[in-house]
């Protein structure tokens, strides 16, 4: 089984080979955002909005679609496993701290984009989810360089863990399986 950093590296190389100007982190962030915003796990409607955002509406090459589907399936599995099994698709811990920090910002930006596609009404959300989303908006705006020291490593680790836990919180509160979708009354307009 590939580690998240191996998935990040191989997906990043694939995107670059296909001239797709986004990062692997942002792709997984968008997937998590859509799922955390209430898109059903079984939904097949995630690929088109993803292509719209990252590839200006152009269709994606087959090998990219295949890689995205693998990432989607693995991410869904991690979200439903519970026990905070979600692993963020980010560079290896040995990568320069600013590369990892930048990838985390891309991840959070992707999450917010994906979440917004599936959840516009936050009135029914818990205060924890609302606060987490506000924090994500702050995190996405961070842009200062970090120094390669233990204090910065600890700070980055803590933000990464906060992001991971907040995503699980959003998914546990708003995410839906097929059974949950069928149990909801249909709204007729």
Given a contact cutoff of 8 angstroms between Cβ atoms, the answer to whether 114 and 29 are in contact is: yes
Rounded distance between C-alpha atoms, residue 62 and residue 88, angstroms: 24
Locate 14 and state its tokens.
């694939």
Position 114 in a domain: yes
Reduced to 3 states (helix: H, G, I; strand: E, B; else coil), residue 56 is coil
Query: Is residue 131 one of the residues assigned to a domain?
Result: yes
What CATH number corresponds to the domain at position 157?
1.20.120.740
Q: Is 40 helix (H, G, I), strand (E, B) or coil?
A: strand
- Determine, yes or no, domain membership for 183: no
Residue 7 and residue 73 in contact, taking contact as beta carbons nearer than 8 Å: no
Structural domain contains residue 123 = yes
The count of structural domains within the chain is 1
In a domain, 185, yes or no: no
Residue 184 domain flag: no
Tokens found for residue 132: 């987490």
pLDDT in tens, the chain (189 residues): 456 778 899 999 999 999 998 999 999 999 999 999 988 888 888 888 888 888 887 888 999 999 999 999 999 999 988 677 899 999 998 999 999 999 999 999 999 999 998 887 788 889 999 999 999 999 988 878 888 889 989 999 999 999 999 999 999 998 875 445 444 443 433
Instruction: Give a yes or no: residue 22 inside a domain.
Output: yes
Classify residue 186: in a domain, yes or no: no
- pTM for the full model? 0.89
Segments forming the whole domain that contains residue 164: 4-178
């Amino acid at each position: 089984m590939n580690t998240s950093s191996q998935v990040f590296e191989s997906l990043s190389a694939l995107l670059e080979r296909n001239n797709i100007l986004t990062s692997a982190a942002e792709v997984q962030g968008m997937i998590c955002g859509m799922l955390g915003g209430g898109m059903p796990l079984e939904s097949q409607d995630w690929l088109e909005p993803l292509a719209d955002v990252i590839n200006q509406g152009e269709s994606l090459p087959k090998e990219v679609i295949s890689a995205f589907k693998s990432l989607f399936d693995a991410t869904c599995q991690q979200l439903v496993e519970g026990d905070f099994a979600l692993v963020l698709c980010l560079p290896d811990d040995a990568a320069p701290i600013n590369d990892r920090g930048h990838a985390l910002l891309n991840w959070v930006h992707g999450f917010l984009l994906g979440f917004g596609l599936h959840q516009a009404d936050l009135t029914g959300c818990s205060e924890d989810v609302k606060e987490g989303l506000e924090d994500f908006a702050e995190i996405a705006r961070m842009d200062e360089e970090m120094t390669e020291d233990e204090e910065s490593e600890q700070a980055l680790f803590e933000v990464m863990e906060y992001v991971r836990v907040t995503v699980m919180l959003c998914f546990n509160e708003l995410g839906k399986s097929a059974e949950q979708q069928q149990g909801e009354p249909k709204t007729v307009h």
